[in-house]
């Protein structure tokens, strides 16, 4: 119980006043939604998050290939272009992944993927974060370009496979530690 209160205090949700007790702080509007907060409070590893992404995002890519219209493809191309010149980034890379999820036109799948991306972005593990930093943006961009091309060609199987490989490369880095 004490550990849970320390975690809540670290997140700024609870304040302890010595000799008086513990109190909930008012929750600012920037606080993650309750589902994300629940997952953050539980013991969850970055590997588990990437394993979940590996299950969800290839499906989103497959659906996106079947459902993308010209406007969707243009938006994906713009997101991809906006990453040009950036040095590296998992978080920077997430805009593309979210755009693919949105292009799937599956609301629940998009929300699940957004939750996973948010969890990774807010994950503060000093061991795993540097491993993910080893990826260069140029690698991400090449992977994204291939995925985007498969989406343009409406090749769901290829898009799914490419997304799986893209996420698997990060998962392999995490598992290598």
Predicted local distance difference test score (pLDDT) of residue 118: 87
Asked if 128 and 154 sit in the same domain, the reply is yes
| The total number of structural domains that make up the chain | 2
Asked if 58 and 118 sit in the same domain, the reply is yes
Asked if 78 and 116 sit in the same domain, the reply is yes
Predicted local distance difference test score (pLDDT) of residue 88: 60
Return the number of other C-beta atoms located less than 10 Å from residue 66's C-beta: 14
Asked if 17 and 50 sit in the same domain, the reply is no
Predicted local distance difference test score (pLDDT) of residue 43: 52
Phi, psi at 17, each rounded to 5°:
-115, 115
Asked if 18 and 68 sit in the same domain, the reply is no
Asked if 21 and 84 sit in the same domain, the reply is no
Calculate ∠ Cα 112-117-118, nearest 5°. Answer: 95
Asked if 93 and 10 sit in the same domain, the reply is no
Output the domain CATH number for residue 46.
Answer: 1.20.120.530
Asked if 109 and 126 sit in the same domain, the reply is yes
Residue carrying structure tokens 């929750």: 27
Per residue in 67-102, pLDDT (tens digit) is: 999 999 999 999 998 888 776 655 668 899 999 999
Asked if 88 and 22 sit in the same domain, the reply is no
Name the pLDDT band for 25 (thresholds 50, 70, 90): low
Residues sharing a CB contact under 8 Å with residue 35, sequence separation 6 or more, in sequence order = 115
Residues sharing a CB contact under 8 Å with residue 169, sequence separation 6 or more, in sequence order = 135, 139, 143
Domain region containing 25: 1-31
**Distance (Å, rounded) from C-alpha 147 to C-alpha 26?**
43
Measured between alpha carbons, how far is residue 73 from residues 39, 56, 103, 146, 151 in Å?
A: 32, 20, 8, 13, 8
Per residue in 31-64, pLDDT (tens digit) is: 556 656 555 555 567 888 899 999 999 999 999 9
Predicted local distance difference test score (pLDDT) of residue 71: 98
């Amino acid at each position: 119980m004490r550990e849970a209160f320390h975690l809540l205090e670290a997140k700024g949700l609870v304040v302890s006043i010595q000799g008086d007790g513990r109190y909930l702080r008012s929750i600012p509007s920037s606080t993650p939604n309750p589902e994300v907060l629940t997952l953050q409070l539980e013991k969850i590893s970055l590997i588990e998050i990437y394993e979940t992404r590996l299950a969800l995002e290839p499906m989103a890519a497959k659906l996106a290939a079947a459902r993308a219209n010209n406007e969707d493809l243009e938006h994906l191309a713009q997101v991809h272009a906006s990453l040009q010149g950036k040095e590296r980034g998992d978080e920077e890379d997430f805009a593309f992944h979210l755009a693919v999820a949105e292009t799937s036109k599956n609301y629940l799948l998009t929300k699940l993927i957004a939750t996973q991306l948010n969890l990774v972005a807010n994950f503060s593990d000093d061991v795993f974060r540097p491993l993910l930093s080893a990826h260069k943006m140029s690698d991400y961009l090449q992977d994204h370009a291939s995925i985007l091309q498969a989406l343009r060609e409406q090749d769901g199987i290829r898009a799914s496979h490419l997304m799986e490989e893209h996420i698997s490369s990060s998962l392999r880095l995490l598992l290598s530690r």
